[in-house]
Structure 1
Amino acid sequence: MNYIYQLTQAATTAVLEKSGRNLPFSLGAATGKHSIWDTFEGEKKDDSSPLTIFVYNKHANQRYTQLATNAMRKLRTLRHPQILKFIDAIETDSMIYIATERATPLSKFLPSDDTIWLTWGLQSLSQALAFLHTLTHSIHGSVSSDSVFVSHSGEWKLGGFELCTTQTELSNGILESNYDSKLAAPEARQGFDAIPTNPVSSLDSFSLALLISQLYNPTKPLPVDLTAAPAPNSRGMIPTSLFNSYRKLLNPSPKNRISVDTFLHLGKNTQETQNGAFFTQNPLIELCQGLEMFSLMRQTERVVFLKNLSHLLNYDNSNEGILGESRVSIPNSLAIHRILPTLVHSVEYMTAGDSAPSLVPLIVRIGMRLSTEDERSTAISKPLLRLWMSPDRGTRMALLEDLERYIDVLSNKIVINELWPHLLTGFNDTAAVIREATIKAVPLLLPKLSDRIINNELLKQLAKAQLDPEPSIRTNTCILIGKLTPKLSLTTRKKVLVAACARAMKDSFPPARAAGLRTLLATVDDQEETDLATRVLPTICPCLLDKEKSVRDQAFEVLRNIVDRIENIASKMPETVVKPDEEVDYSYSGTAGKSFLGDDQLGSAATAIAGWAFGTSTTSKKLEASEATTAMSSAGPEAAASMPSPMLPTQSTPQLDKPMSSGGMKLGSNKPSPSPLPFEDDEGGWGDLEEPKSIPSIPEMHASNTSVSAPTRQAGSAPAAPSLQPIKPTNTGSMARPGLGAPSPALNRANTTNNAPTESHISAQKSHSLHSLSPSPSSPSTPLSKEEKAQDLARKREERAQKIAQIKAAKAAATANTGTLI
């Protein structure tokens, strides 16, 4: 076969080069030998439409050159829907090329047990022969399975016109010399002298009857020497309504034999149902007639026709793939190449009208029969996109319902650029059913949508949909957001997911609240670990006491699941992130770890701020064992009131009613004031307090003679150090022992008489401390005796000791309760 094909190609090329002509089609693979022709697959160069090429070599078969020329001439002049469509022909000195529509000999489809298809094909063949007999007065002369072809649409087409002759051309001898005696009618066996006087259809009518016997009873052929009509018991698989007409075609007398045209009318006779109407009862024939008149039907007729077509296709929705088809009576070739183009044509030219919703499932399901994805996309994408442009809600609903069947054949580019803009209008449609169907269709589009559309346009529509008045739309929107989660960016996911579920859990519709909980549970793996505790759990808790039990049960299930996850996360965390006490650096950061005090001031500064440092000690500081068991001693109310504590609030220190010597001291209030250093012989003073290992911050101090300035506590800083204030002097006499920095008589006189400022005042004004020293003016009073001064000093010492004991007790109590000192 390959040798013949190569030889033919070489001969064709040589002949065409010699003649200077080019074929308007290209030759493909050889398909075999048919009658006197070599057949090839071909393709038209203009539009790449498939062809069948019949090639005849004159030099190899000179005997049949007349028949090949006759066939080319008849095909070129005869035009009928049931005759093989002629495309082009070229004849050279040595070759004849005939290009027709793509077709396959009927003999390759036989035998077949599909009686519906056989009867439909028989009608097409009868129409072609009736046309040939009545209008052209021609005899075909070779009606058989080899002269009938099946087109790519599954329709039967009459071909094989090598012996076709009109009654006036019988004298040329083409028919007589080449007529097959095996298929010859009884009158033809006796000679062709009486043929011109017989009805023109007599020979072909008898050959048609033989073909009917071969189609329905391939295993029971008729006898060659048939001289009478077959008996009724020889019907076999021939339909009952057809059998009587079939017998009339086999009448031995050519004058009593019915013509093909009569046979065709008997088949269409609806009144004679037992002995006729075998064509009108065929569903395929009714279907083809309806397709021919589809564009001229009224709307009601179209709806009925499409309903019958869907029933004839016998679609069911089982789990057998996308289509789920059971046995289909309509051949795939007919559905794809005849029915589908008719439906698509009505859509493209908008002639479908109200029947458009019924067209959608048919176009989709028939289009899915195509063998390759490219063919499916080419066949159905254009009409479907045209239907998406329709404002009809019925059409839009049908498109949304069948989206699952055809979304896979649409490319990402088509979905983004052409389908999505039309789908977007469904979110804002006034009909709630369209809005809900649009939301339900979005998950099918997600694999084909871009990130920009998902994270921007789609989320904007879903945010509006969560406020839709229809509760079912709000519920489905929340579910859809959960399905969107893997497609969202991390930033968008954190911003949208919890907020959308929180809104759903506040919905008045119980299923919407349950949907919010289920969405949270389904997307828990997409949540950040910290968000589970800080955002998700607070959102779930109100639903634990929901009025609906189903919502409460769902909330508890989600809560348990998330709490388990949080516990698992917490178990992997370190016990603490706080450094051990010895690793903490308490140095003053403003001076890079160095004190801003001079070396000569460090000793006195540490002593003066011991109480303040105690109040700001770190949490690692704890009472010593001896301090925890020591009973508190009274040191007066002023000391306890001046020291900040977790248990005791800071209070202002009242002024003493009794005057005392200038060498005395007391705990200052929150309002800082200048004070001298403590007494040297004060055994119950601040020296008993444990100094911290390091000082977080040291207040600026100023020493002039014997005075130290206390810091002012700023907002957000550590508690201020207690200030030391001098007792107001009562006279100008000596108030302290020499060497303790007591004011001189000159100072006392200045204070009493309000004269010029003393050296202490000048020193205080020049100080950089937070507060200046300003001695209080003395009020005139009777000088104290030495005994009174000693008693007053002893009383002050006892009060001071009591205050210190109270501070230690407060520290012990705070450590016992909280383990933390502030």
Structure 2
Amino acid sequence: MLSSFFNRDPKYSFAYDVSAESKYQENGLQIGSTFKKSDTSIIGTYFSVCASKGSGLKSQIQKLKTLKHPSILAYVDSLETGDKIYLITEECKPLKAYIDEANLSSIQYEMFVSWGMYQILNLLKFLHIDAKKSHGTLRRNIYVTPAGDWKLSGFEKFDNFTSPVKDLNDFGILLWECFNGFNDGLEKAKAPADMPQKLHAPYKSMASSGASKTSADQILQECKDQNGFLRNQFVKTLLFLEEYQLKEQGEKVAFFSGLKETLDLFPANVAKYKILPKLIQCYEFGDAGVHILTPLFKIGAFLEEDEYQRIVVPCIVKLFASPDRSIRVRLLEKVEEFATHMSANVINEKIYAPITAGFNDPSPAIREMTVKSVVHFADKLNYNNINVDLMRHLARLQGSDDNPGTRTNATICLGKIGFYIDPSQRQKILLSAFTRALKDPFPPNRIAGILAMSATQQFYSLIEVANRIIPALGPATFDPEKQVRDQSFKALKGFIDKLEKVSENAELLQEMEAGVKAGGKNGILSSEKVPAWASWALKSLSGKIYKGTPPPVVTKETEANEVPNKAPEIKQQNIYSKPHKTESVLPKEPVNVVKSNISDGWDNVDDDSLDDFAKTNSSSDIGSGWNDDGDSFLDMQPIDLPKPEVKSNKCEAKYEEEKFVDAADTFKNSSAKSLKLGGTKVTNKLNADDMDSFFGITSKSIVESARGSRCASVAGDKEVSMSSTEVKPKVVKPVIRAKPKVTATAEGGDSWDSFNWGETMKADQNKDDLKAKRRAELAARNEKKKAELAAKRTAK
């Protein structure tokens, strides 16, 4: 029975739901919100009236079906039941209700009224001149859409045009009410009162009895002239977007360059529903390209999360798929603004591959920005992407990148994302990476290695602290740079304090190592029970990214002549500030700082074996890796996950010859007297350390990009800065000591070997033989492992 009853009800089969209560009442009509039943995201507005009083609404329905104009309320559907008549239109509110509910500043309100005035005068021009019609009841039939557009409805008295007086008088009084308050009893025009000064003359022309001598077109032109009420950036911006396809390329570039500052004039809803759709439309069907990104992300801050996912995320995905390198640069600069809105599925399947293409970009600026961007979405990467693919990229950059800023930021990045690495491999990866950073010739990277190691102290077992961390930090206490020495002493004291506490109370061991196997999605900043000694490093690391290579700068001149598929050139900058002048009681002899082969004695055997192993790998491998004991990183196999359907970014081959200027070339040696420890000569090549065979790859020698660097800013919250004054490196000649002469004594012919020092030399020779034998054994073992891995791959 009930089903047959509903089937007979016309509203049951009607496409729109009209059951909601009405919110407003205007001209005897009930006005409420509605939505489409088949798609609830489609919102509209219904107008309803009793059937006995519905003659006016019926007439309006007929007129709206035939009248089409951007400033006429759009007809969607209609329904007539036994007792009511319904009209469905686009979403809107009565003008009075919109003004009462909108929270607009005085300047925004004036701009909003100016845009509405332009739209209605433009509509009256069309009705009076082109359609030869007069509205007749304009004053209470203006509605406003969510985009801030003024729309005209209520065509019950729509008639042939005879005079513009009625329509212009009604609109003039309406403008007076907008600034002086709505008054239904007002029938004649009054003095302008609180109306803006620029609106006084047009208001008098419309509201006076002499309105018959003027026209909507004349008033519109007067208001658009110099110093006119419609001569403002608000109207100019919206008109430009509507006429975008007719504009020249130079005009488009200039428009988007100034749009960021102009957006502050617009109410949030106008920016969301008027400007944002136009921007996306300009990108999809025009040549806006990289220029829309800045206003796009600024407007995106106004959106609700579901709106952001529906409107902005698809646009970002399309932008990442673009082969234009300049777009990739801007996206990397803005990654912090949209990363939190991206779902894990979108990041892993559609965005990760285009982002990681930047690791191989010939421009050091893009490589640096790519490393920095990883921090913002690492928590959403799947197992394979963060533990396998990303670690390979960071290992190569940290170990062999020519740009010192990129190496430094790779170290900082690992410290920031360490919590997300799988616990089974985290300790091995982090320790190998940070101990490698301690041997880097670039002082900021050495400082970053110490800070990162301290900030991630909870991830290391105490046996590793004793066997690897403390021996690695020891040489740093005698580093040529004072900042490195200061940070190393702090870290050493903290790690030794952990060992002392467990030595005094063995029951603390489990508590101290509770974080070694811990994992999660909260990052190091939310880790609990951080000791006081590590808080300084945690705070410093979490708040900094080394500002090395400057990002590509696109000037207004280059934007105007920019080819769409050409990346912007890097603007040269002096990126290193002058170091603070400090005094030291230590020697200030100059030291040639080049790639070093630092021999601290605690891992010589491993380093030698890794050198032999590295020589067996071809240069076609991925790059440098991390390893602490010769075990291949390939033991850590990717888990089975759905393969992302992301097309590989081929823009590297296309733009291989478009080299950015390497900002590291601007690095100059300091002439200031920084704090140095003398007497240490550093050779030209780094050890192939623990990280090289971790991935089974060969580390490339790093260019002497940090020659003569001086680190003079305080590490921690302050940035590390370098002087730009060039100093020719001083060549330190080795001192050759004379061999002692062998002479016999008068007493018994005893020689210099009376105390059996010769036996000691024989023992040293035996030790060298054992070391050579050990190298051969390790090389054989590595060859065997490589053969086993090759067999496994062939079997798969």
Q: What TM-score results when the alignment is normalised by the length of structure 1?
A: 0.57
The answer as to 2:17 corresponding to 1:23 is no
The answer as to 2:43 corresponding to 1:50 is yes
Equivalent-residue separation in structure 1 for 2:5 and 2:73 (angstroms): 29
Equivalent-residue separation in structure 1 for 2:59 and 2:432 (angstroms): 82
* 1:287-686 map, 5 Å: 287-314=237-264, 329-349=265-285, 351-353=286-288, 356-370=289-303, 372-466=304-398, 467-573=400-506
Q: Once the two structures are superposed, what CA deviation does each residue of 1:59-101 show, in whole Å capped at 9, x if it has no partner?
A: 3x2xxx4322221121111111011111123446654322110
How many Å apart are 1:102 and its aligned residue? 0.6
The answer as to 2:171 corresponding to 1:201 is no
The 1:21–1:490 alpha-carbon spacing in structure 2 relative to 1, beyond 3 Å, is: closer
Equivalent-residue separation in structure 2 for 1:122 and 1:247 (angstroms): 15
Equivalent-residue separation in structure 2 for 1:75 and 1:33 (angstroms): 20
Matched residue, 1:143: 138
Equivalent-residue separation in structure 1 for 2:333 and 2:435 (angstroms): 30
Identify which of 129, 146, 150 aligns with 1:152.
146
Equivalent-residue separation in structure 2 for 1:481 and 1:57 (angstroms): 69
Q: Is the 8 A contact 1:213 1:221 kept in 2?
A: no
Matched residue, 1:681: none
Equivalent-residue separation in structure 1 for 2:468 and 2:99 (angstroms): 73
One-letter amino acid matched to 2:443: P
How many Å apart are 1:110 and its aligned residue? 3.6
Equivalent-residue separation in structure 1 for 2:225 and 2:491 (angstroms): 73
**Number of aligned residue pairs:** 496
Larger deviation, residues 533-542 vs 235-244: 235-244
Equivalent-residue separation in structure 1 for 2:248 and 2:475 (angstroms): 60
The 1:500–1:224 alpha-carbon spacing in structure 2 relative to 1, beyond 3 Å, is: closer
SS of structure 1 residue aligned to 2:209: coil
How many Å apart are 1:155 and its aligned residue? 0.8
Equivalent-residue separation in structure 2 for 1:251 and 1:397 (angstroms): 58
How many Å apart are 1:14 and its aligned residue? 7.8
Q: Once the two structures are superposed, what CA deviation does each residue of 1:378-425 show, in whole Å capped at 9, x if it has no partner?
A: 111000111111222321122122222212221111111111111111
Equivalent-residue separation in structure 2 for 1:373 and 1:432 (angstroms): 35
Matched residue, 2:155: 161
The answer as to 2:64 corresponding to 1:78 is no
Q: Is the 8 A contact 2:290 2:327 kept in 1?
A: yes
Equivalent-residue separation in structure 2 for 1:522 and 1:567 (angstroms): 19
Q: Is the 8 A contact 2:173 2:188 kept in 1?
A: no
The answer as to 2:196 corresponding to 1:236 is no
Larger deviation, residues 524-533 vs 357-366: 357-366
How many Å apart are 1:105 and its aligned residue? 0.3
Q: Is the 8 A contact 1:71 1:161 kept in 2?
A: yes
How many Å apart are 1:472 and its aligned residue? 0.6
Equivalent-residue separation in structure 2 for 1:543 and 1:535 (angstroms): 13
Identify which of 88, 91, 99 aligns with 1:102.
91
Q: Is the 8 A contact 1:137 1:200 kept in 2?
A: no
Matched residue, 2:222: 266
Q: What TM-score results when the alignment is normalised by the length of structure 2?
A: 0.59
Equivalent-residue separation in structure 2 for 1:20 and 1:223 (angstroms): 39
The 1:219–1:334 alpha-carbon spacing in structure 2 relative to 1, beyond 3 Å, is: closer
The 1:548–1:253 alpha-carbon spacing in structure 2 relative to 1, beyond 3 Å, is: closer
How many Å apart are 1:18 and its aligned residue? 7.0
Matched residue, 2:127: 132
How many Å apart are 1:219 and its aligned residue? 7.7
How many Å apart are 1:127 and its aligned residue? 1.5
The answer as to 2:30 corresponding to 1:35 is no
How many Å apart are 1:150 and its aligned residue? 0.3
One-letter amino acid matched to 2:284: E
How many Å apart are 1:223 and its aligned residue? 6.8
SS of structure 1 residue aligned to 2:402: coil
Equivalent-residue separation in structure 1 for 2:150 and 2:7 (angstroms): 33
Equivalent-residue separation in structure 2 for 1:294 and 1:548 (angstroms): 57
Equivalent-residue separation in structure 1 for 2:236 and 2:28 (angstroms): 37
One-letter amino acid matched to 2:388: N
The answer as to 2:115 corresponding to 1:120 is yes
Equivalent-residue separation in structure 1 for 2:188 and 2:464 (angstroms): 95
Equivalent-residue separation in structure 1 for 2:11 and 2:150 (angstroms): 37
Q: Which runs of 5+ in 1 are unaligned?
A: 1-9, 168-198, 315-328, 575-822
Equivalent-residue separation in structure 1 for 2:478 and 2:48 (angstroms): 87
Q: Which runs of 5+ in 2 are unaligned?
A: 508-796
The 1:408–1:20 alpha-carbon spacing in structure 2 relative to 1, beyond 3 Å, is: closer
The 1:68–1:20 alpha-carbon spacing in structure 2 relative to 1, beyond 3 Å, is: closer
How many Å apart are 1:268 and its aligned residue? 2.2
How many Å apart are 1:335 and its aligned residue? 0.9
The 1:438–1:481 alpha-carbon spacing in structure 2 relative to 1, beyond 3 Å, is: same
The 1:46–1:138 alpha-carbon spacing in structure 2 relative to 1, beyond 3 Å, is: farther
The 1:383–1:225 alpha-carbon spacing in structure 2 relative to 1, beyond 3 Å, is: closer
How many Å apart are 1:125 and its aligned residue? 1.4
One-letter amino acid matched to 1:540: L
SS of structure 1 residue aligned to 2:474: helix
Q: Is the 8 A contact 1:28 1:41 kept in 2?
A: no
Q: Once the two structures are superposed, what CA deviation does each residue of 1:487-523 show, in whole Å capped at 9, x if it has no partner?
A: 2233312321221112111111111111112222222
One-letter amino acid matched to 1:23: F
The answer as to 2:279 corresponding to 1:286 is no
One-letter amino acid matched to 1:348: E
Q: Is the 8 A contact 2:290 2:330 kept in 1?
A: yes
SS of structure 2 residue aligned to 1:119: helix
SS of structure 1 residue aligned to 2:18: strand
Equivalent-residue separation in structure 1 for 2:212 and 2:25 (angstroms): 37
The 1:108–1:21 alpha-carbon spacing in structure 2 relative to 1, beyond 3 Å, is: closer
Equivalent-residue separation in structure 2 for 1:47 and 1:336 (angstroms): 21
Q: Is the 8 A contact 1:138 1:166 kept in 2?
A: yes
Q: Is the 8 A contact 2:168 2:211 kept in 1?
A: no
Higher relative contact order (CA 8 A, sep 6+): 2
Q: Is the 8 A contact 1:454 1:488 kept in 2?
A: yes
Matched residue, 1:246: 203
Q: Once the two structures are superposed, what CA deviation does each residue of 1:4-35 show, in whole Å capped at 9, x if it has no partner?
A: xxxxxx9xx98983779942322242223322
Matched residue, 1:5: none
Q: Is the 8 A contact 1:70 1:163 kept in 2?
A: no
One-letter amino acid matched to 1:310: K
- Percent identity between the aligned chains? 28
One-letter amino acid matched to 2:295: L
One-letter amino acid matched to 1:42: T
The 1:142–1:220 alpha-carbon spacing in structure 2 relative to 1, beyond 3 Å, is: closer
Equivalent-residue separation in structure 1 for 2:383 and 2:351 (angstroms): 16
SS of structure 1 residue aligned to 2:35: strand
Q: Is the 8 A contact 2:375 2:413 kept in 1?
A: yes
Q: Is the 8 A contact 1:347 1:386 kept in 2?
A: no
